[in-house]
Chains A and B, each alone.
Chain A
Amino acid sequence: AQKITQTQPGMFVQEKEAVTLDCTYDTSDPSYGLFWYKQPSSGEMIFLIYQGSYDQQNATEGRYSLNFQKARKSANLVISASQLGDSAMYFCAMREGSGRGFKTIFGAGTRLFVKA
């Protein structure tokens, strides 16, 4: 069975600083993908960034980057220059299966608080 672990229930960061949210995963499938989603207090789920297991470079999307260490099975999200609006729950997720049987399983989430 595949598994996603987010060990930080809550994190604090000062505005304008960078923060790393940890995610480790467990899979025996050589082909997999990792996603990060943001859930603000308003409740919607927002896709942030994707990393494929065969991708040669770490993914980046604006202020978001993924520190992907395949041998360690970790896919940490780095948010640079934190903003007050980054305060939210962040979920790491992994693709399981392919084609029509594709499903996404989620970690327990990390709540990020950005301090002014």
Chain B
Amino acid sequence: DTAVSQTPKYLVTQMGNDKSIKCEQNLGHDTMYWYKQDSKKFLKIMFSYNNKELIINETVPNRFSPKSPDKAHLNLHINSLELGDSAVYFCASRSDGQNNSPLHFGNGTRLTVT
């Protein structure tokens, strides 16, 4: 069973379009995250949600809107896509119980904006 799954794996779209990426975790974790990995492989946190509540918003443009219908799901909707949005987007989750709990990542969604 896949622990953190995100869809689609690849997303190619044109500038100005709106797209969504879905993420689901079956680990029972309370906190979920979105990270962006740019072309130089740098990973930057975008958002975190804890039990459907937004906790971290790292000065991401408001074209990006996360939505968490329940604690097992965290979706990312992007409006008016721009060339600079091209990246790999990772969903992750972790257990809040202990500080040594690592992030569990999905396999990433490669977004290409043309």
A interface residue numbers (CB < 8 A to B): 31, 33, 35, 37, 39, 43-45, 47, 50, 52, 89, 91, 95, 98-106, 108-109
Cβ-based interface call for B100 (8 A): yes
Please, how many angstroms separate the alpha-carbon atoms of A39 and B37 in the complex? 12
Please, how many angstroms separate the alpha-carbon atoms of A52 and B48 in the complex? 22
B41 & A108 in contact (Cβ 8 Å cutoff): yes
How many contacts A-B (CB < 8 Å)? 59
Q: Chain B residues with Cβ under 8 A from A39's Cβ?
A: 41
Q: Chain B residues with Cβ under 8 A from A103's Cβ?
A: 33, 45, 48, 56
- Interface size, B (range): 20 to 34
Please, how many angstroms separate the alpha-carbon atoms of A104 and B43 in the complex? 10
Q: Chain B residues with Cβ under 8 A from A31's Cβ?
A: 99
Q: How far is the CB of B8 from chain A (nearest CB, A)?
A: 14
A104 & B103 in contact (Cβ 8 Å cutoff): yes
B90 & A100 in contact (Cβ 8 Å cutoff): no
A100 & B31 in contact (Cβ 8 Å cutoff): yes
Q: Chain A residues with Cβ under 8 A from B103's Cβ?
A: 35, 37, 45, 47, 104
Q: How far is the CB of B78 from chain A (nearest CB, A)?
A: 20
